[in-house]
Structure 1
Amino acid sequence: MSRFYPVIPAGGSGTRLWPLSRQSSPKFLHRLGADERSLMQLTLARLGPLSPPEQTYVVCGPAHKMAIAEQIPSVPPRNLVVEPAGRNSGPAIALAAAIIHARDPEAVMGSFAADHLISVGDAFRAAVRTGIEVAATGRLVTIGVPPRYAETGYGYIEIGDELGIGAALAVRSFKEKPDLVTAQEYVEDGRHLWNAGMFVGRTADLLEDVRHHAPQIYERVQRVAESWHTDNAAAREILTEVWQDMPSISIDHAIVEQVAAQGRVATVPARMGWSDMGDWDTVAELGLAEGSRLAQPRDTLLLDSPGSFATSGTGRAVTVVGVPDVVVVETDTCILVVKRSEAQRVKDAVEAWKERGRDDLL
């Protein structure tokens, strides 16, 4: 694994986990699991047996750089790649690939979000190791999750034939977030996996795909990478310059869909207890099924409220009586009460407060 370089994209503010997750303190900086560490710290620890912190890179925004550096001090400052502004995942991952490739032209990189929860670390690492082996054949490899239920909030991977390398399978196509009926069909047909948003590939292959399918991104990240390891201050100045007109596009739309159409994408299924912690309904389900996944006060009280979940960010007691299937979140400035079935609409509440000029709540 000496040439494996993990990349941890740490962007966004996690509006569906508002009011815990804010612009200044997104969800990956919070403890959302049974462990005392934040999601970011758990992500780094999970990757430790695969690659040392010195080979790990984090792509983040300027508002979170200091907090990230404090939480994961073992990652060298030069490995914190600070985007001047958010441009979606395409430029962020391409930039990391270019920087790593300039350091090690034989590198294999993996991209793993900072804000996911994985409870079976050994299964995760086994899948990544298989992915590294498959990547050596020139494929881009995703980590897929066998679906546990019909989820409309995730993308899906349609699988094909076995590749003869561990559990790796060919990818036929990627599916956008489906409606409920379609999602149920995906679960039942056994030919679809949840797309966990993780991938592994050789930097040389990845950059060649970026050069071919997204040349505007390629040219800009190459300019930054050329001096990143020799004159880092100059490289960061170039980064500020080229990011002004950098296209904003996801890595899926920039290259992955095109590479899949060429038959060069593979997937490794992994039963690793994965969750993207995407909304309060997901958090509540994990908490109810597996024990508390949030730092709740001992005197949080739920009476005759089946399926409900409550937490406090201040230590004040939260009591729910006779109200099933709700989530109550209390912080020092906000209180959220939401039906679990309406959890996806929390982001609408964030937009509504924004329209009212309440930036202090965002």
Structure 2
Amino acid sequence: MIHPVILCGGSGTRLWPASRKAYPKQFAPLISEQSLYQMALQRLTGEGFAAPLVMTGDDFRFMASEQAAEMGLSDARIVIEPAARDTAPAILTAALLLKDTPDAMMLIAPSDHVIGDVPAFLKAIEAAKTASETGALVTFGITPDRAETGYGYLELPQIPDGPQAVNLNSFREKPDAETAQQMLDAGNYLWNAGIFLFRVADIIAAFETHAPDLVGPCQGAIDAGAEDLNFFRLGADDYARAAAISFDYAIMEKATSVMAVPLSCAWSDLGSWDALWQTQNPDENGLVAIGAVTALECTNSYLRSEEDTLQLVGLGLDNIVAVAMRDAVLVADKSRSQDVKAIVGALRAQKVAQADDYPRFYRPWGWYETLCLDSRFQVKRIMVKPGGVLSLQSHYHRSEHWIVVSGTAEVTIDEKVKLVTENEGVYIPLGAVHRMANPGRLPMYLIEVQTGSYLGEDDIVRYEDIYDRS
């Protein structure tokens, strides 16, 4: 039995503005109706696979749980990392959680990769299992089709025919363009996919040998951890003592029993808009157009509109990325798409909210988005999923009007509880203790109009919350 471990804590910024700290790329439907995270879960579900173990952060726990449930994976175990400590502590913690099954296999997989040929991937996993049963730590490499500077590389003695584990010579950092071309020409290098397979006992032993300082903090975080709703929350103080280090640096570059399995299929870590362009089948002019887009005489470009009512028009563009969202627009030379992360840093330095905030704010009960905001009023659209319940709360500085536009809301105002149906409204006076819930079987939508001297999200006094949010 293989235990999939899905690393789901990243907050990638190279796909800004579609990917942001509040809503990172793994949860976004960038290339299909499923999110990248759901696609990763689907690849690792079925015969031979145990329930997935998902390592994620506190901000993403409800998204991870809800999207897994949408796939029918209600048995997925969601482990909350109190802080981002890179991949080595996350993988070690997962291994320690599985230590009661020392001979079981662990498959480590990022949540934000695209794999075009899933049957080929599964065959590569079978080849890796054979090597792992002898105690090897196996990594997977992608057969390169171009001189790519955005990936690390694996050096092999030679590339075998078909999926077969071979000894690994060395790991190589992301190269410059000239070195990348030399590696491609040499024919014995693979892209480092960041996917690994090994037995639980073997990887724990590798950490005890090569990174023993991580074992105590990670085990301590488990011992101090606690169940929280349907999550397992690691102990924050112990986990904070773990060094932030990648798995490659901590283990794979030091261990001696390392092997690699080549994987020849379409693959991408979607680390840039250029990478996303490559995966989405550019037309004969090299153009990818997603959403409400009109393009005239555009070549080798990626044009995307995230809003049906926001028409993106390109005229005479070449080698351009243009991504339009309701609150932000990116226009960049496609060859500079690896540098988008620097733009996010500049926005953060200017305290621009769009650097991290997403226009739609996801909550365990549903989501809300601001339609209009001024100094003394705000208009929101709110969706409450079936069975969703907002916290019992009050406000010091604002009153609210709620107008239900679809579905039925159960509204509590002080001691009164009533049902509010479509085309009906209700007024929440300043200071009133209130709550809304959706008792129906379909999503409930309403418009909220706030008025007052202060409209920030921190003007909430929370008395009761079924999701245990502080």
TM-score by length of 1: 0.90
The residue aligned with 1:216 is: 213
1:64 aligns with 2:57: no
State the Cα deviation string for residues 224-247 of structure 1 (Å, max 9, x = none). 44687xx746x9566223112221
**Correspondent of 2:322 among 324, 328, 342:** 328
Give the conservation status (yes or no) of the 8 Å contact 1:27–1:115: yes
Could you tell me which amino acid in structure 2 is paired with residue 271 of structure 1?
S
Quick one: distance in 1 between partners of 2:3 and 2:142?
22
Quick one: distance in 1 between partners of 2:232 and 2:38?
25
The residue aligned with 2:299 is: 306
Quick one: distance in 2 between partners of 1:324 and 1:353?
26
Give the conservation status (yes or no) of the 8 Å contact 1:31–1:295: no
Give the conservation status (yes or no) of the 8 Å contact 1:29–1:39: yes
Give the conservation status (yes or no) of the 8 Å contact 1:140–1:199: yes
Specify the structure having the higher radius of gyration (Cα).
2
**Correspondent of 1:48 among 35, 45, 50:** 45
Q: 1:288 to 1:273 in 2, by over 3 A?
A: closer
**Correspondent of 1:37 among 34, 37, 41:** 34
State the Cα deviation string for residues 60-119 of structure 1 (Å, max 9, x = none). 0100000111101144567111100100111011101111223x2221101110000111
The alpha-carbon deviation at position 211 of structure 1 amounts to 1.1
Higher helix share: 1
Higher strand share: 2
1:252 aligns with 2:248: yes
Number of residue pairs the alignment of both structures matches: 350
- Percent same amino acid at aligned positions? 33
Quick one: distance in 1 between partners of 2:233 and 2:142?
40
Residue pairs, 1:169-318, within 5 angstroms: 169-225=166-222, 232=227, 239-259=235-255, 262=256, 264-289=257-282, 296-297=290-291, 299-315=292-308, 316-318=310-312
The alpha-carbon deviation at position 17 of structure 1 amounts to 0.2
The residue aligned with 1:349 is: 343
Question: Gaps (5+ residues) in structure 1?
Answer: none
SS in 2 for 1:105: coil
Give the conservation status (yes or no) of the 8 Å contact 1:31–1:294: no
Give the conservation status (yes or no) of the 8 Å contact 1:162–1:168: no
Residue pairs, 1:41-190, within 5 angstroms: 41-49=38-46, 51-52=48-49, 55-73=51-69, 74-76=72-74, 79-102=77-100, 104-160=101-157, 167-190=164-187
Report which structure shows greater RCO (CA 8 Å, sep ≥6). Answer: 1
Give the conservation status (yes or no) of the 8 Å contact 2:159–2:188: no
Quick one: distance in 1 between partners of 2:141 and 2:346?
35
The residue aligned with 2:23 is: 25
Question: Gaps (5+ residues) in structure 2?
Answer: 357-470
The residue aligned with 1:319 is: 313
Quick one: distance in 2 between partners of 1:147 and 1:360?
35
Q: Give the alignment's Cα RMSD to 1 decimal.
A: 2.4
TM-score by length of 2: 0.70
State the Cα deviation string for residues 11-32 of structure 1 (Å, max 9, x = none). 2211110000011100000112
